[in-house]
C-alpha cells in the first residue's frame, strides 16, 4: 500500500482528502503544520507528499525545498494560489505537480496515481536502460540506481521530473524528443500537466548544469530536445520568431 503524507492546515479539506485516498487504497498520514510534517516525513518515509502552500508555522514552498534537498519523493502542491507565477515558482523549487483549489477529489487521486506510477518505475524497466560506461572527460554523468546527476563529479540536486527528463536524454543520445513525448514519458499519457511545465524543468536543468556563463552546456531552440554528444547534455532550441509565444 502506497504511503501519502498530507500536509494541510484546513481540517475539513484534510479529512476529505484523507477519506477519499484511503478508499483508493492509500495509507494517508496527516500533518497540520510544517513542523509536524517534517517529523512525519522522517518517521513514515512517504511515497508521495501532498503539500499546502499556506501553513500556520511556515511557508509551504520552503518546506517543499527542504523535502527536495533530502529526498527525490514526488511532491504535489495544493493551493488556492492559482496565478501562473505561483505555479511556476513551485515547480522551479522542487514540486513535481501543482493543483489549484478548489479541485476534484477524483483529479487529485488521478494525479497522485500518476506521480506514484512514474516513481515506481525508477528501478525497473528494460535491460537497455543502464548507465552508460563512465568516461573521465564527460561533463555530466548519471547514476540511475541512486537517481543522481553529477556535474564535473559533483552531485546536482534535481526534482523527480528533472531527473526523469535528463535520464531520457542520457539513455537515448542523439534522439530528438518533442515536448509532448517528454511529458508522456515522465508523467504518462493521462497527465493533466501542460507542456509548458517541460519548459520549466528544462530551464532548471540548464541552470543547474551551467556553473559559469562560458560553460553553457545547454542551448535553446524550439520544438525539440536532443542530447549533444559532445557534452553529453541536451538542447532545447527556440527560433527568434517564436520566442514571443513562449513568454508567460
Least confident segment among 89-98, 161-170, 228-237: 228-237
Dump pLDDT digits (tens) for 33-65.
999 999 999 999 999 999 999 999 999 999 999
| pLDDT exceeds 70 at position 221 | no
Dump pLDDT digits (tens) for 54-104.
999 999 999 999 999 998 899 999 999 989 999 999 998 899 999 999 899
Dump pLDDT digits (tens) for 16-37.
999 999 998 999 999 999 999 9
pLDDT at 138: 57
pTM as predicted? 0.55
Alpha carbon distance 62, 60 (integer Å): 5
Number of neighbours of residue 203 by Cβ within 10 angstroms: 16
Cell numbers at residue 245, please?
Answer: 509565444
pLDDT at 32: 94
Return the axis-axis angle of helices 84-92 and 60-70, rounded to nearest 10°: 30
pLDDT at 199: 80
Least confident segment among 143-147, 169-173, 238-242: 238-242
**b (16+ CB within 10 A) / e for 54-69:** ebeebebbebbbbbbe
CB 51 within 8 A of CB 27: no
Dump pLDDT digits (tens) for 104-118.
999 999 999 989 888
Work out the angle at residue 200's Cα, subtended by the Cα atoms of residues 196 and 206, and round it to the nearest 5 degrees.
Answer: 135
| pLDDT exceeds 60 at position 233 | no
The set of long-range contacts for 187-192, using a CB threshold of 8 Å and a minimum separation of 24, is 187/114, 187/115, 187/118, 187/161, 188/114, 188/117, 188/118, 190/110, 190/114, 191/114, 192/107, 192/110, 192/111, 192/114
List the beta strands (DSSP E) in 60-174. Answer: 75-79, 97-100, 140-143, 148-151, 154-156
Least confident segment among 107-121, 154-168, 173-187: 173-187
Please report which confidence band the pLDDT of residue 128 belongs to, taking 50, 70 and 90 as the band edges.
very low
Chain CA centroid to CA 223, Å: 21
Amino acid at each position: 500500500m502506497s504511503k501519502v503524507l498530507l500536509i494541510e492546515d484546513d481540517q475539513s479539506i484534510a479529512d476529505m482528502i484523507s477519506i477519499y485516498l484511503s478508499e483508493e487504497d492509500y495509507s494517508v498520514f496527516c500533518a497540520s503544520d510544517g513542523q509536524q510534517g517534517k517529523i512525519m516525513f522522517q518517521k513514515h518515509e512517504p511515497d508521495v507528499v501532498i503539500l499546502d502552500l499556506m501553513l500556520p508555522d511556515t511557508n509551504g514552498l520552503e518546506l517543499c525545498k527542504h523535502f527536495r534537498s533530502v529526498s527525490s519523493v514526488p511532491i504535489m502542491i495544493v493551493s488556492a494560489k492559482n496565478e501562473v507565477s505561483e505555479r511556476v515558482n513551485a515547480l522551479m523549487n522542487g514540486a513535481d505537480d501543482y493543483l489549484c483549489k478548489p479541485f476534484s477529489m477524483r483529479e487529485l487521486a488521478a494525479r497522485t496515481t500518476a506521480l506514484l506510477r512514474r516513481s515506481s518505475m525508477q528501478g525497473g524497466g528494460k535491460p537497455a536502460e543502464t548507465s552508460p560506461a563512465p568516461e573521465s572527460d564527460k561533463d555530466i554523468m548519471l547514476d540511475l540506481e541512486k537517481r543522481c546527476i553529477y556535474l564535473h563529479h559533483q552531485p546536482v540536486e534535481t526534482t523527480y521530473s528533472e531527473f526523469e527528463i535528463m535520464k531520457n536524454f542520457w539513455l537515448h543520445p542523439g534522439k530528438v524528443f518533442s515536448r509532448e513525448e517528454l511529458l508522456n514519458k515522465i508523467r504518462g499519457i493521462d497527465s493533466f500537466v501542460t507542456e509548458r511545465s517541460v519548459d520549466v524543468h528544462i530551464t532548471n536543468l540548464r541552470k543547474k548544469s551551467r556553473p559559469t556563463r562560458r560553460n553553457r552546456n545547454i542551448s535553446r531552440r524550439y520544438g525539440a530536445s536532443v542530447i549533444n554528444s559532445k557534452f553529453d547534455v541536451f538542447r532545447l532550441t527556440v527560433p527568434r520568431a517564436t520566442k514571443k509565444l513562449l513568454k508567460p
